[in-house]
A and B are shown apart, each in its own frame.
Chain A
Amino acid sequence: MRPSRRLVGVVAAIGLAAITLAACSSNNSSSSTTSSGGSTTGSVRTGGTLTMGLDENLAGFNINTSAASEYVLQEILDQVWPQPFIVNAALKPVLNTQLITSATSGGSPQAVTYVINPKAVWQDGTPITADDFIYNWQAQSGNSTYTDIGGATYDAASSSGYNQIATVTGSNPTGGAACDPGSAADRNVGLCPNGRTVTVKYTTPFADWQSLFGNLVPAHIARTVGWNTGFAGPAQTISGSWYEIQSYTANQSVVLVRNPSYWGTPGKLDKIVFQFFSDDTQEVPALQNNEVQLINPATVNTAITQSAAQVPNTTKVTVPGLEFEHLDFNEADPYLAKLPVRQAIAYGTNRQEIISHTVGEVASGIVPLGNRMFVASQPQYVNDGSQYDTVNPSKAESLLSGLGFKKASDGYFQPNYGPQSGQDLTFTIQSTSGNSTRAQTEQLFQAQMKAIGIKINIQNYDANTFFGTNLPNGTYQIAEFAWVSTPFPSGNQSIYCSYTSSSCGQNWLHYANPAEDKLLAAGSSATSASQETTDFNQADKLLWNDMATLPLYQKPQYFAWSNKYGNVIPNASTTGVPWNANLWGLKAS
Chain B
Amino acid sequence: MLAYILRRLVISIFVLFLATILVFLLVAESGDPLALLRANPKIPHRVILARENLLHLNDPLYERYWIWFSHAIHGDFGNTVAGQAVRPQLVSHLLVTLRMVILATLISIVLALAVGVYAALRQGKVADHVATVTNFLFLAAPVFVVGLLLKEFVAIPINEHLNRIVFYTNGEQSPTLSGSFFSRLPDYAAHTALPTITLILVSYSSWAIYQRASILETLDSDHVRLARSKGISPRRVLMRHVFRNALIPVTTVIALDFAAILGGALITEIVFGWQGLGIWFLNGVNGLDINITLAYLLVTATFVILFNLLADIIYAFLDPRIRYD
Contacts and interface: CB of A to CB of B under 8 A. Distances in A.
A156 B44 contact: yes
B82 A67 contact: yes
B50 A155 contact: yes
B84 A158 contact: no
Contacts of A160: 42
Interface string B24-44: 000000011001111111111
Contacts of A250: 89, 92, 275
Q: Which residue among B40, B273, B274 has the maximum number of chain A CB atoms within 10 Å of its CB?
A: B40
Contacts of A229: 83-84
Interface residues of B, number: 53
Interface in A58-85: 59-60, 66-68
B72 interface: no
Given A11-B42, A16-B42, A229-B83, A249 B175 contact: yes
A8 interface: yes
B275 A468 contact: no
B128 interface: no
B197 to A, nearest CB: 15
B289 to A, nearest CB: 10
Interface in A243-281: 247, 249-255, 271, 273, 275-279
Contact of A279 (B37, B156, B270): B270
Contacts of B50: 152-153, 155
Contacts of A494: 41
A150 B82 CA distance: 18
Contact of A273 (B40, B175, B279): B175
Contacts of B41: 494, 505-506
B290 to A, nearest CB: 12
A228 interface: yes
Interface in A348-380: none
Interface stretch (A105-113, A194-202, A285-293, A385-393): A285-293
B206 to A, nearest CB: 25
22 contacts: A2-B40, A2-B42, A3-B39, A53-B170, A59-B84, A66-B37, A67-B82, A154-B47, A155-B47, A156-B44, A159-B42, A273-B176, A279-B270, A282-B169, A282-B273, A289-B155, A289-B159, A290-B159, A291-B170, A463-B286, A468-B36, A494-B41
B288 interface: yes
Contacts of A2: 40, 42
A67 B83 contact: yes
B288 A464 contact: yes
B276 to A, nearest CB: 10
Contact of B165 (A60, A159, A291): A291
A291 B168 contact: yes
A576 B283 CA distance: 24
A68 B168 contact: no
Interface in B275-304: 275, 279, 283, 286-288
A505 B37 CA distance: 13
A144 B46 contact: yes
A140 to B, nearest CB: 9
Contact of A282 (B165, B271, B287): B271
Interface of A: 2-3, 5, 7-8, 11, 16-17, 49, 51, 53, 57, 59-60, 66-68, 142, 144, 152-160, 228-229, 232, 247, 249-255, 271, 273, 275-279, 282-283, 285-286, 288-292, 462-465, 467-469, 471-472, 494, 505-506
B295 to A, nearest CB: 16
B49 interface: yes
B156 A288 contact: yes
Nearest to B155: A289
B152 interface: yes
B46 A8 contact: no
Nearest to A495: B41
Given A68-B82, A247-B175, A469 B35 contact: yes
Contacts of B38: 468, 472
Contact of B49 (A17, A153, A463): A153
A252 B2 CA distance: 44
B31 A464 contact: yes
Nearest to B282: A278
B285 to A, nearest CB: 10
B269 A278 contact: yes
A56 to B, nearest CB: 10
A521 B93 CA distance: 49
Contact of A278 (B32, B148, B279): B279
Contacts of A468: 31-32, 35-36, 38-39
Given A255-B176, A279-B270, A285 B156 contact: yes
B151 interface: yes
Nearest to B279: A278
Contact of B39 (A156, A157, A277, A472): A472
B83 A276 contact: no
B12 interface: no
A288 B169 CA distance: 10
B173 interface: yes
A462 B288 CA distance: 11
Nearest to B79: A229
B11 to A, nearest CB: 37
B170 A277 contact: yes
Contacts of B156: 285, 288-289
B275 A57 contact: yes
Nearest to B266: A278
Nearest to B283: A57
A390 B162 CA distance: 56
B159 A253 contact: no
